[in-house]
């Protein structure tokens, strides 16, 4: 008997144990709990309900069919994980794609790891295992992180420890949720990348965000080109320095010069530069002449 057949037989044996009402296991302290919790059990698919905490909401149909074909040929290689709710009643923690694909090919049972956990623990396990093991899109990952914050009150530091990601990485995902919903949908559908989203998030105005998003899609802009577009937008918002008014030169009329000459009793020289600035020169011929001019100025 091969190892695979032995494991399968063992799974069926434990499954029978779980169907015995006298051996209903509700906690890790119950009799025979050590034989069940953490082991691979062949569970009836009809006894498993979908986890309401499941973060994944989009399943690629083509990918699901490919997985179903693989399961039909090779079986379910990686067991799903469930938690026990009641007698012969279980809730999925992780492995919804495998469960869906198994249903597609008409399987009645699926190999599963059994855990006993409360709702909060189940939510944490579901979110953490999905973040780590599945190809979630960036928005789904961000929503998973947000749920850990909102429903379990985990800090970013605690999440960093649980999921093995840097705090800065978690923060970058969470920032995506500040994007306009249209752009979030664009990321989920693959029209733009997370890099595009991280560039757009630097703009607070949601209308401007969507305008740039439309330019990215219509022009097929790269992340670097998007960053340049965002930079130009911010530059356009900066107040432009007020330029100094340009002074223009002007001409002094002869009668204006004569007014100065007649008043001071001396030939006054007036010069004007190209920028409109100038100077007035009043000549004097002696100390007495200088005193006379001073007297005129002082009135």
> Using H for helix, E for strand and C for coil, what is the string for the chain?
CCHHHHHHHHHHHHHHHHCCHHHCCCCCCCCCHHHHECCEEEEEHHHEECCCCCCCCCCCHHHHHHHHHHHHHHCCCCCEEEEEEECCEEEEEECHHHHHHHHHCCCCEEEEEEECCCHHHHHHHHHHHHHHHCCCCHHHHHHHHHHHHHHHCCCHHHHHHHHCCCHHHHHHHHHHHHCCHHHHHHHHCCCCCHHHHHHHCCCCCHHHHHHHHHHHHHHCCCHHHHHHHHHHHHHHHCCCCCCCCCCCCCCCCHHHHHHHHHHHCCCCEEEECCCCCEEEECCCCCHHHHHHHHHHHHC
User: Which tens digits make up the pLDDT trace of 173-211?
Assistant: 999 999 998 899 899 889 999 999 999 999 999 899 999
**CA–CA distance, 40 with 14 (Å, rounded to integer):** 8
Task: With a cut of 50, say whether residue 2 has pLDDT above it.
Answer: no
What's the whole-number average pLDDT of the chain? 80
What is the band of 231 on the pLDDT scale with cuts at 50, 70, 90? very high
- Of the pLDDT bands very low, low, confident and very high (cuts 50, 70, 90), residue 7 is very low
Domains of the chain: 3-118 (3.90.1530.30), 179-237 (no CATH), 254-298 (no CATH)
pLDDT average, residue stretch 85-100: 85
Query: Of residues 42, 61, 62, 96, which has the active-site annotation?
Result: 96
Write down the residue that tokens 């499941």 correspond to: 54
What local confidence, expressed as pLDDT, does residue 4 receive?
Answer: 39
Asked whether the predicted pLDDT for residue 253 surpasses 90, the reply is no
Confidence band for 107, pLDDT divided at 50, 70 and 90: very high
Active site residue 225: no
- Residue 148 has a pLDDT of 81
Q: Rounded to whole angstroms, how far apart are CA atoms 46 and 9? A: 20
């Amino acid at each position: 008997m091969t190892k695979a057949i032995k494991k399968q037989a063992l799974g069926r044996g434990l499954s029978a144990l779980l169907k015995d009402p006298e051996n209903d296991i509700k906690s890790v302290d119950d009799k025979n709990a050590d034989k069940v919790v953490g082991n691979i059990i062949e569970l009836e698919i009809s006894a498993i309900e979908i986890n309401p905490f499941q973060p994944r909401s989009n399943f690629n149909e083509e990918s699901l069919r490919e997985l179903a074909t693989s399961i039909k040929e090779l079986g379910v290689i990686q067991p799903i994980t469930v938690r026990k709710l009641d007698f012969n009643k279980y809730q999925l923690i992780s492995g919804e794609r495998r469960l869906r694909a198994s249903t597609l090919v008409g399987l009645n049972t699926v190999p599963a790891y059994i855990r006993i956990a409360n709702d909060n623990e189940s939510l944490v396990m579901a979110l953490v295992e999905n973040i780590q093991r599945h190809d979630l899109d960036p928005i789904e990952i961000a929503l998973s992180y947000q749920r850990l914050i909102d429903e379990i009150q985990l800090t970013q530091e605690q999440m960093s420890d649980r999921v093995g990601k840097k705090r800065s990485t978690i923060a970058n995902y969470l920032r995506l949720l500040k994007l306009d919903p249209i752009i979030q949908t664009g990321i989920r559908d693959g029209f733009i990348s997370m890099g595009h989203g991280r560039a757009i998030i630097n703009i607070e105005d949601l209308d401007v965000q969507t305008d740039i998003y439309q330019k990215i899609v219509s022009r097929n802009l790269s992340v670097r080109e998007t960053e340049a577009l965002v930079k130009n937008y911010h530059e356009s918002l900066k107040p432009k320095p007020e330029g100094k008014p340009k002074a223009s030169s002007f001409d002094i009329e002869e009668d204006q010069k004569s007014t100065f000459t007649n008043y001071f009793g001396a030939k006054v020289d007036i010069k004007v530069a190209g920028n409109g600035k100038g100077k007035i020169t009043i000549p004097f011929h002696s100390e007495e002449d200088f005193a006379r001019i001073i007297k005129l100025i002082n009135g």
